[in-house]
Amino acid sequence: MFDNPYGTGQTTLTAVLALTNVLAAGREFCVVGYGWVGKGLARAAAGLGGRITVVEVDPVRALTAHMDGHRVAALADALPHAEIVLTATGSIEAVPAAALGLLQDGAVLANAGHHDREIDVPALAAAAEDLIEARPGVRTYVVGGRRLHVLVDGALVNIAGLDGNPIEIMDLSFSVQALAAHHLASGRAAPGLQRFPDELDDLIARTKLETLGVTLDSPTEAQRLFSESWAS
């Protein structure tokens, strides 16, 4: 809820711009996957003046992207217009070999999602007639006369290409991991897959807010009784 949209959203855009030195304003971005990460990527790119097209397979998330003000399209419709393609599906082949022929000359491809298998870089390498080491972290594959720029070989661009997420956001992720380990070690978790307890999420958010100097109101007794009267 924080690391993925806010941390990865910011640092992916920072990495892409640092590696390529292109201008985001007015540029056509294609964000593949509109989950926690994709939403953050789209927001960060739009905040810099980019125009966003979202590719999603989940109808609720695709509709959310539409309501958030982004264009939504199928991959085959989105890629021919894309100048920067950002993948964040958590799956494989978000930009598969079959789609690489749709990309325009000069397109930049970067991945913020799973490992290095979202963009089919091996297929691109196999089809390329030339390979140019354009800049550190930028390999340009020349395919049918088109130059396609791949950042850090399709690995996680914010981590392999820059410094990863700032500590102000990783402290939340590490808190979840540390408290989850503590919860398990305390023997309070039943065997099997468990949700992270809501009260621990609350504790982390409250602690973070305290470090930011923010104090919250509490519901009044009447409000508490009212909300409890609806409990099933």
Q: Which of 14, 35, 48, 117 binds ligand NAD (CB under 6 A)?
A: 35
| Long-range contacts (CB closer than 8 Å, 24 or more residues apart) made by 121-125 | 121/150, 121/153, 121/154, 123/96, 123/97, 124/97, 124/100, 124/148, 124/150
Stretch that binds ligand NAD, among 64-72, 90-98, 142-150, 193-201 (CB under 6 A): 90-98
Judged on CB neighbours under 10 Å (0-12, 13-18, 19+), 215 is exposed
Cα separation, 143 vs 147, whole angstroms: 7
Which of 36, 142 has the CB closer to ligand NAD? 36
- Residues forming beta bridges with residue 141, ordered by sequence position: 131, 148
Residues of span 139-198 touching ligand NAD by CB under 6 A: 156, 158-159, 165
- Residues forming beta bridges with residue 151, ordered by sequence position: 138
Stretch that binds ligand NAD, among 83-91, 145-153, 205-213, 219-227 (CB under 6 A): 83-91
**138-149 b/e (C-beta count within 10 Å ≥ 16 → b):** bbbbebeebbbb
- In the complex, the smallest distance separating the C-beta of residue 5 from ligand NAD, rounded to whole angstroms, is 8
Q: Which of 50, 113, 137, 154 binds ligand NAD (CB under 6 A)?
A: 113
Cα separation, 71 vs 49, whole angstroms: 14
**Nearest to ligand NAD by Cβ — which residue?**
35
- In the complex, the smallest distance separating the C-beta of residue 118 from ligand NAD, rounded to whole angstroms, is 8
Q: Which of 13, 24, 32, 162 binds ligand NAD (CB under 6 A)?
A: 32
Which of 128, 138 has the CB closer to ligand NAD? 138
Orientation of helix 9-20 relative to helix 36-47, angle to 10°: 50
Stretch that binds ligand NAD, among 2-10, 45-53, 97-105, 187-195 (CB under 6 A): 2-10
Stretch that binds ligand NAD, among 34-42, 64-72, 147-155, 210-218 (CB under 6 A): 34-42
